[in-house]
A and B are shown apart, each in its own frame.
Chain A
Amino acid sequence: MSMNVIERQTSQNPVEPEKKQIEEFHSGNEMAARAAAQINYHLMGYFPITPSTEVAEYLDEMRVRGEHNITMIPADGEHGAAGINYGASTAGGRVFNATSSQGFLYMLENLPVQSGTRFPMVLDLVTRAVSGPLDIRGDHSDLYYGLNIGWPILLARDPQAVYDMNLIALRVAEHSDVRLPVIVAYDGFFTSHAKRRVKFFEDKAVVQDFIGPVPTPPVTSLDPRHPVTIGPYMNDPDQMNNKYQQSLAMYKAGDVFVQIAKEYERISGRAYEILDLYRMEDADVALFILNSAADTARDAVDELRAMGIKAGIVSPNIIRPFPKEAIQEALAKVKVVLVGERADSYGGHGANLTHEVKAALQEIHTPIHVLSRVYGLGGKEFYPDDARSLFDLCTAWLDGEQVADFDYFGVHPGDEEAATIALHHGLPPLSREEMSGYVSVAQNEETGELSVKAPNLRALTKKPRRLAPGHGACPGCGIFPGIETFLKGIEGDVVVLYQTGCAMVTTTGYPYTSHRVTYLHNLFQNGAATLSGLVEMFWEKKRRGEIEVGEDITFIMVTGDGGMDIGMGPAIGAALRNHKMIILEYDNEGYMNTGAQLSYSTPLGHMTSTSGVGPQGNGKTFPHKDTAQIMAATNIPYVFTGTEAFPQDLIRKAAKAQWYANHEGLVYGKILIACPLNWKSKDELGNVIVGAAVKSCFFPLYEVEHGKTTITYNPEQKDERIPASDWLKTMGKTRHLLKPENAGLLHDFEVEIERRWRRLIAKHEHPEL
């Protein structure tokens, strides 16, 4: 049994746990999912983001096995997820979600709405660095944005605590004195993905007994006999009184936490105090530090104690409300405390908790000295030696040495000489000349129709690729043949914007880039807006004569199908404004960059990590999104579909796309690309599979030019149409659809394919449609 557990059991009043528990070996995310399943929340609105996504994946696996019946709603983004959860919480049911980093920031505006109107739920914040540049690893910079949103925040420093705190959190949230949504924060990767020995209640009835029935809420949105107006328009002086109510409830949450934690200790044997104190009883020097790093730092304390230095650690289990009195008590006799923070409040001479600790200590007029260090940003590892170095700063100060009050710990200046030797300086810029002269577009003066002249693939091998080799995509990835075939049709200078996704992550891992043209990234709900800003700046600078560009630059946004879910709004906005740019979507039918969760483009019945297959699940429950038709409805000049399996078709469409983007306005194109890893298909078959998707009429090749639809390849006319099952049998993710027991589902899918195909033919045949 680990020391953690021993200490928790014996901290106050050792009691034999009443309820039977089993010991297993699990990660933080697994334990969060287990707690949520045992609670059996009514509903979870979620959106995938690393490293919290696994929680939804594990819950989906359990749902498919019939282990809980939480309604799981894949949102269109975290903002949408927050809305789903808020709406659900007003109905007085139990609501859960897990998120991280940008996802947390994207939902941020809705979170004070929920606390201000007082509807409980539990949100697991699996802490991760905030962009930019984009970093998926663990730090606390997302958590710090949550300090002012009015949600009580519990911390869980290891997988055991993740389970325990999730059970405690719901009780705190629903307590009649509190009625606030509660965050449980644990460290991304360090806790979420690392496995440890853990205990949990074997019988979920124990959990059900502990949480009890849902308390009757003061108001509910689902009682027509008692109409209620939730969220009125409220200005001064009323809103301030509402906030005071909220403030009182937040402080109450601290007392309620203590009470619920005691109750939990009686059934689990594990005690959670307001602060975890390690060897603080007579400490001269102390480290105040959150979550997993506090665990790591214990080795340094033992080492220092062995040398006669009285060191200790203070690590809070709750930071909202801020445990002022407990900290005052713990640090009253300490000479130096170092507040280690895995986040910064830039320009604040120390991040937020530094100042909160200082303020608490100022009230008791202790002579203690407070040092502050920002450490471990972007997931930089924290070793026992690092903890030792932080304590050394404390003892150096005690010895009268000069020690800066605030600084970064763990940065290094770099070495120019090493940079010249070790860092590759890449390839020379592509000239406009070498990128031109292959493909031409002519407009018929009378009809206005475009005609394209493009050479064969062999001749086009002379045209340099705009992406260099050396990227880190999976073997057989369809993204690059898709994009590069498209780019073969694009002449001259290009600036690209990639939204977050596989193509972005695999081509720009610092300090290497595969891009030979200027590239920028923005988060994957905002690429279209970002590129539209750049496009307009280009034209404005051109108008003012501030840039000399002989010919136009073609601006291309590259996004996955996930980016067209969360970024649908900005994409439609850019389309309605009709900026001169191209949006190119590579559709691999899921959120493959984060581990193959379903996207709205995932077809009916297809298996993903959040649309599992098993006794209670048969893949995705609703049909794929028809993004091309949605974009066509914005009346932009040109919309097309394409795949690498029909290269000349795609190159022709690229040439037209460039002509329209440079002469008229926004172009949208969707290319279907293979993802062998998550389609569970053979690496070498990508081209064949996307070709089969076209020939089955699931993914028709067509264009919509000034509203007129033209099917550019009709497999029926060529006598090349294949049944959908011939396409589906090539992929592991769809093999279940071919089993006799799923004939009905396959039929539904075929009917949907046929319905859309017939509508498209009608549009092709009637120019007014």
Chain B
Amino acid sequence: MKQIETEHSHRFLEIRMESIGGLGANLAGKILSESGVIRQGLNGWYAASYGSEKKGSPVKAFVRFAPHEIEIRGTYPVDEPDVVAVFHEALLHNPSTIAGLRTGGTLLVNTKRSPAELRGQVGRNDITVACVDALGISVREGTRINAAMLGAMCHVVPLLDVDAVRNGIAETFTTKYQHLLDANLRTFDGAREEVTEEAPLDETPYVPSNGATVGRALGYETMFVGGSIPYAGNSIAKDLSASRQGFVPTFNVDTCIHCAACDQVCPDACFVWETRDNGRGREFQFLVGIDYQYCKGCQKCVEACPTDALQTAPEDEAYVLANRVQKFGPANFAVVNSSAKEVTSR
């Protein structure tokens, strides 16, 4: 049995998974923790952040391991993890995603990008950065990305026993989804082989910035009495792009007949319209584009479109940035996410 060796942590190895509902982080956390406890003989604790049962909203899963004989008492979340595993790259826009990651710890991200590129984005020299194209592997195998993330985690966390976790996956899929077993094991093994990592550049501890946050702003002196929200529609400040799972609708105005079928079926009010003269003195509504800040990628609009003006395409950040039509103007844009404790404005 492997022993826990975490010099910086007095007793535990702590892992935090950052995901959105629907990617299987909860199941990954269960398999990982159960494998450690049942198959590796560790002591362990597992919990997930829990809101309402929604797909597409940010979720966190927490695993705490200790040697067999050490008691794990707390029921509190992992705030200073040794490992942060990010299931959806867009979550990195929110600083809370990697908050508290210990110096010397490991950041694992589902991405096509390289560790060096990611390090540039997160600005941490004191950690190992590991990358795996979990989405690519799972699309190839027709699985969810959680098996790929588990494979990558087994590679970057020496404590984790590959066979134990692999057996955990096998047991899960054998009992519940026999037909997916082989594909998931291939996903798991593929990710172990394809993950790339870069060791810390130096050990200068990271000092988080302490900006104005909603978490700090609202207290018993500043909250409205009774918890009322004295604003209308301020959810427009939220960025829901992380809810997308790899696909966006693309819009071609040239073939659009402005029938509004897309607008009517859209759950997220993403479509932006303009009132224009039709050239013969009558005003009509014209669709000008999509505000991708709110698009969760459901593709209902594509299904509803009677022409080929709306098409499903793999998400390309450059396309989204270049083609986003802002519904409410730039002043309304802020990076926030609904489950984060600290919400930073920019």
- A425 to B38: give the CA distance in the assembly, Å: 50
Residue positions of B touching A, CB distance < 8 A? 21-22, 30, 33-34, 37-38, 43-48, 50-57, 68-69, 71-77, 212-214, 216-223, 226-227, 229, 231-238, 240, 243-245, 258-261, 263-271, 273, 275, 284-285, 287, 291, 293-294, 296-300, 302-304, 327-328, 332, 334, 338, 343-345
Beyond A189-B47, A469-B294, is A478–B267 a contact (Cβ under 8 Å)?
yes
Residue A647 at the B interface, CB < 8 A?
Answer: yes
Report chain B residues within 8 Å CB of A457. Answer: 259-261, 263-264
CB–CB B229/A415 < 8 A: no
The listed residue (A25, A461, A472, A502) touching B285 by CB distance below 8 A is A461
- A298 to B11: give the CA distance in the assembly, Å: 15
CB–CB A296/B33 < 8 A: no
Beyond A194-B75, A687-B304, is A25–B222 a contact (Cβ under 8 Å)?
no
Which residues of chain A (697-740) have a CB below 8 Å from chain B?
A: none
- A683 to B22: give the CA distance in the assembly, Å: 12
Beyond A197-B37, A461-B285, is A469–B212 a contact (Cβ under 8 Å)?
no
Residue A479 at the B interface, CB < 8 A?
Answer: yes
Which residues of chain A (496-515) have a CB below 8 Å from chain B?
A: 502, 505-515
24 contacts across the A-B interface (CB closer than 8 A): A50-B52, A195-B44, A196-B72, A197-B44, A292-B75, A415-B217, A416-B221, A418-B217, A421-B345, A422-B344, A425-B234, A457-B259, A469-B269, A472-B54, A476-B298, A480-B268, A502-B54, A509-B338, A513-B234, A514-B233, A594-B52, A596-B53, A677-B53, A685-B303
Nearest CB to that of B257 among chain A residues?
A458
Residue A460 at the B interface, CB < 8 A?
Answer: yes
Report chain A residues within 8 Å CB of B219. Answer: 411-415
Whole-angstrom distance between the Cβ of A681 and the nearest chain B Cβ? 11
The 4 closest A-B pairs by CB, nearest first: A414-B219, A470-B235, A468-B233, A414-B222
- A309 to B263: give the CA distance in the assembly, Å: 66
Report chain B residues within 8 Å CB of A510. Answer: 227, 229
Report chain A residues within 8 Å CB of B226. Answer: 133
- A477 to B238: give the CA distance in the assembly, Å: 18
CB–CB B300/A686 < 8 A: yes
Q: Give A382-424 as 1s and 0s: 1 = Cβ < 8 Å from B's Cβ atoms.
A: 1110000000000000000000000000011111111101111
CB–CB A195/B240 < 8 A: no
Nearest CB to that of B222 among chain A residues?
A414
Report chain B residues within 8 Å CB of A193. Answer: 47-48, 50
CB–CB A426/B285 < 8 A: no
CB–CB A429/B232 < 8 A: yes
Report chain B residues within 8 Å CB of A516. Answer: 232-233
Beyond A296-B74, A686-B300, is A470–B218 a contact (Cβ under 8 Å)?
no
The listed residue (A195, A475, A481) touching B296 by CB distance below 8 A is A475
CB–CB B37/A25 < 8 A: yes
Report chain B residues within 8 Å CB of A684. Answer: 298-300, 302-303
CB–CB A195/B46 < 8 A: yes
Nearest CB to that of B299 among chain A residues?
A684
CB–CB A683/B222 < 8 A: no
CB–CB A687/B236 < 8 A: no
Report chain B residues within 8 Å CB of A460. Answer: 260
Nearest CB to that of A135 among chain B residues?
B227
Whole-angstrom distance between the Cβ of B285 and the nearest chain A Cβ? 5
Whole-angstrom distance between the Cβ of B265 and the nearest chain A Cβ? 5
Q: Give A581-596 as 1s and 0s: 1 = Cβ < 8 Å from B's Cβ atoms.
A: 0000000000011111
Beyond A187-B75, A458-B258, A478-B267, is A195–B233 a contact (Cβ under 8 Å)?
no
CB–CB A475/B298 < 8 A: yes
Report chain A residues within 8 Å CB of B264. Answer: 457, 481, 484-485, 644, 647
Beyond A422-B213, A512-B237, A515-B232, is A195–B45 a contact (Cβ under 8 Å)?
yes
> Which of A1-9, A139-147, A442-450, A537-545 is the interface stretch?
A1-9
Nearest CB to that of A683 among chain B residues?
B298
Report chain A residues within 8 Å CB of B327. Answer: 469
Beyond A295-B73, A457-B263, is A470–B236 a contact (Cβ under 8 Å)?
yes
CB–CB A299/B74 < 8 A: yes
- A505 to B69: give the CA distance in the assembly, Å: 42
The listed residue (B232, B240, B263) touching A517 by CB distance below 8 A is B232
Whole-angstrom distance between the Cβ of A580 and the nearest chain B Cβ? 24
Report chain B residues within 8 Å CB of A196. Answer: 44-45, 72
- A473 to B297: give the CA distance in the assembly, Å: 12
The listed residue (A4, A421, A424) touching B212 by CB distance below 8 A is A421
Nearest CB to that of A194 among chain B residues?
B47
Residue A471 at the B interface, CB < 8 A?
Answer: yes
Residue A306 at the B interface, CB < 8 A?
Answer: no
Report chain B residues within 8 Å CB of A507. Answer: 235
Report chain B residues within 8 Å CB of A512. Answer: 229, 234-235, 237-238, 338
CB–CB B259/A458 < 8 A: yes
Most buried by B among A194, A422, A458, A509: A422
Residue A462 at the B interface, CB < 8 A?
Answer: yes
Nearest CB to that of B237 among chain A residues?
A424
Report chain B residues within 8 Å CB of A413. Answer: 219-222
Nearest CB to that of A502 among chain B residues?
B52
Residue A658 at the B interface, CB < 8 A?
Answer: no
- A193 to B299: give the CA distance in the assembly, Å: 33
The listed residue (A24, A189, A462, A687) touching B303 by CB distance below 8 A is A687
Report chain B residues within 8 Å CB of A426. Answer: 231-234, 236
Report chain A residues within 8 Å CB of B34. Answer: 25, 195
Most buried by B among A194, A592, A686: A194
CB–CB B273/A461 < 8 A: yes
The listed residue (A299, A430, A467, A477) touching B269 by CB distance below 8 A is A467
CB–CB B300/A687 < 8 A: yes
Whole-angstrom distance between the Cβ of B332 and the nearest chain A Cβ? 7
Residue A279 at the B interface, CB < 8 A?
Answer: no
The listed residue (B38, B44, B260, B267) touching A476 by CB distance below 8 A is B267
CB–CB A471/B296 < 8 A: no
Most buried by B among A196, A383, A461: A461
CB–CB A472/B57 < 8 A: yes
CB–CB B235/A24 < 8 A: no
CB–CB A133/B332 < 8 A: no
Beyond A414-B218, A418-B217, A461-B285, is A468–B236 a contact (Cβ under 8 Å)?
yes
Residue A214 at the B interface, CB < 8 A?
Answer: no
CB–CB A513/B75 < 8 A: no
CB–CB A471/B52 < 8 A: no
The listed residue (B21, B223, B332) touching A474 by CB distance below 8 A is B21
Residue A335 at the B interface, CB < 8 A?
Answer: no
- A179 to B344: give the CA distance in the assembly, Å: 56
Residue A190 at the B interface, CB < 8 A?
Answer: yes
CB–CB B75/A295 < 8 A: yes
CB–CB B76/A418 < 8 A: no
Beyond A424-B334, A516-B233, A647-B264, is A4–B300 a contact (Cβ under 8 Å)?
no
The listed residue (A25, A469, A677) touching B291 by CB distance below 8 A is A469
Report chain A residues within 8 Å CB of B345. Answer: 421-422
Whole-angstrom distance between the Cβ of B81 and the nearest chain A Cβ? 15
Which residues of chain A (177-191) have a CB below 8 Å from chain B?
A: 187, 189-191
